Amino acid sequence: MATEVPDTTRSSDDEATDAPHPAFEGYAAESPPQAAVGAPGKDGVLELRFAPTRGGTKLVHDYATVPFHVSGTLGHDPHPDAETVFLQSPTGGIAQGDRHDVTIAVEGDGVAHVSTQSSTKVQSMNANYAAADATLSVGAGGHLDYVPEPTILHADSRYYQDLTLELADDATAALGDIVVPGRLARGERFEFERYLSRVRVHGPDGLLFEDATHLTPAESDPTAPGVLGEFTVYGTLFVVAPDADTAALSDALHEVATEADAEGRAAATELPNESGVVVRALADRAETAQSALHAAWDHARRDLLDAPAPSGRKY
């Protein structure tokens, strides 16, 4: 793909959102005028734990504080043993000073699908920043699909998300992320201040790979050749499957993703340490990027679980 994304920054001293990445240290000193960091409603906590049972995978533990809400599970996943949770929020989006902490665990041989009910809107900011820290783990023989709806970055927003995945032996996962750089219908494009997303995946023997996307439109033009180019929406799907034939899987996912993203650009490549495949998609609309990533996700699920990916319906 001619338009590769962003930068891959690493740091060893910022393992959680309460120790911000150096790029966000300046914002951290700013006090939000509405509600301080850590005030009620600012620190959202979500805990989900799935476990296999005789009747299939079940959600055996859930805990949520505002702005997270879990209304139950859905049973329409094509996989007969899978469980589905769609995260809900009663708020209008993520505001300055918000800190979200998500923990999702799938115990051995469980199959779980977690998504959001709608897009995540990162609101405009004039002080501090917003951050989300997700810690995911999959036990031996288990599988997790973590595929939230797109993240929409409003003008002047500053957002840092950090995701860590721990895989046991024979475990697999699919991690999806789509970034929309503004409210495109109203002509808002690349007016956010800073966006940083980091993904780190560990296997039984240590780090498998690390990936980062860092966009700062005021400092570096994201529409430049070699970054996003002519496109606006950027999507990523990590299919983490260390025990799979990653070369064959990469070829297959590349083919289905490029066919589904005829209006944009899509490509797939093997991840380091033969740990899986990453699919990148560029488009002018979120729906186009979603189509490419869903096609790749569907093929990967059929290959890994012998079941298609769930449809996009959120009910």
160-180 pLDDT per residue, tens:
999 999 999 999 999 999 999
pLDDT at 263: 86
Domain of residue 280, residue span:
43-305
Give mean pLDDT, residues 83-99.
91
- Tokens 């780190």: give the residue: 200
Query: Does 272 fall in a domain?
Result: yes
* Kind of pairing between the strands at 276-283 and 265-270: antiparallel
Query: Does 167 fall in a domain?
Result: yes
The CA-CA-CA angle for residues 273, 175, 288, to 5°, reads 115
Query: Does 253 fall in a domain?
Result: yes
The yes-or-no verdict on residue 183 having pLDDT over 70 is: yes
Query: Does 148 fall in a domain?
Result: yes
Query: Does 36 fall in a domain?
Result: no
The yes-or-no verdict on residue 141 having pLDDT over 70 is: yes
pLDDT at 17: 40
User: Residue 14 — very low, low, confident or very high, per pLDDT cuts 50/70/90?
Assistant: very low
Query: Does 315 fall in a domain?
Result: no
pLDDT at 91: 84
Give mean pLDDT, residues 52-64.
96
Give mean pLDDT, residues 131-138.
97
Number of domains in the chain: 1
Query: Does 201 fall in a domain?
Result: yes
Query: Does 301 fall in a domain?
Result: yes
Query: How many whole angstroms separate alpha carbon 306 and alpha carbon 143?
Result: 12
Give mean pLDDT, residues 308-313.
84
Neighbours of 68 (CB within 10 A): 22
Residues forming a β-bridge with 69: 88
